[in-house]
Amino acid sequence: MKSFLIKGKDNKQDLLSIEIEISSRNEYKNISKHKRVLMPVIKWCISLDINGHKLDKDEVFVEDVFFESLCYPGHYPMFTCTCGIFGCGGYYVDVVHDNEAMIWTTQQSPYEDKTIKSTNRFVFSWSDIIDFSEKLIQRLEELQSLMISNELEFRFDLEKYKDIIQEIKIKRIEDYNI
């Protein structure tokens, strides 16, 4: 399932979108040397697009870090290697906040298609970041429901993510009332 955000009227801002692929099946797992049990397995993959271009699938988006970056500007290990070890192949994103936008500057071209010309600087409006974040949370809630129904552990702190989004919305309202 794919969610796209609508680009701002000034077309100067970048567009961040998300796609989550979820598959489930049952597999036999060895629980001892002589005993196997049929167990549910859920595989999922989150992929991002910026301006309609897929980001490299070898770089895994780290959701916890993304939500942390919404609170404070800084230097974040937002993408990691598919093996899960940041030092193996991940990269940092420098995050800057201003009144109108959240700005990402990446260490390398994030696109899967390396022929795409990129300045490695992306400007996302706060309204688009909020919409993207809410869609991400919604998709993670769907994943959580599927995992819980199959008695599997779900590792994301969705309530924390929702609180962060609520704080950002309140801050945006306060900024406009000043």
Per-residue pLDDT tens over the stretch 113-171: 877 877 789 999 999 999 999 999 999 999 999 999 999 999 999 999 999 999 999 98
pLDDT of 8 > 80? The answer is no
Q: Which residue has the tokens 């060895």?
A: 30
pLDDT of 104 > 50? The answer is yes
Confidence band of 176 (pLDDT split at 50, 70, 90): low
Name the DSSP class of 111.
B
Nearest alpha carbon to residue 59 among 77, 71, 43: 77
Q: Are 65 and 57 a contacting pair, CB within 8 Å? A: no
Which range of 31-35, 44-48, 155-159 scores highest in mean pLDDT? It is 155-159
What's the CA angle centered on 60, arms 49 and 123, to 5 degrees? 40
pTM greater than the 0.85 cutoff: no
Q: What percent of the chain has pLDDT over 90?
A: 53
Q: What's the CA gap between 90 and 78, in Å, rounded? A: 8
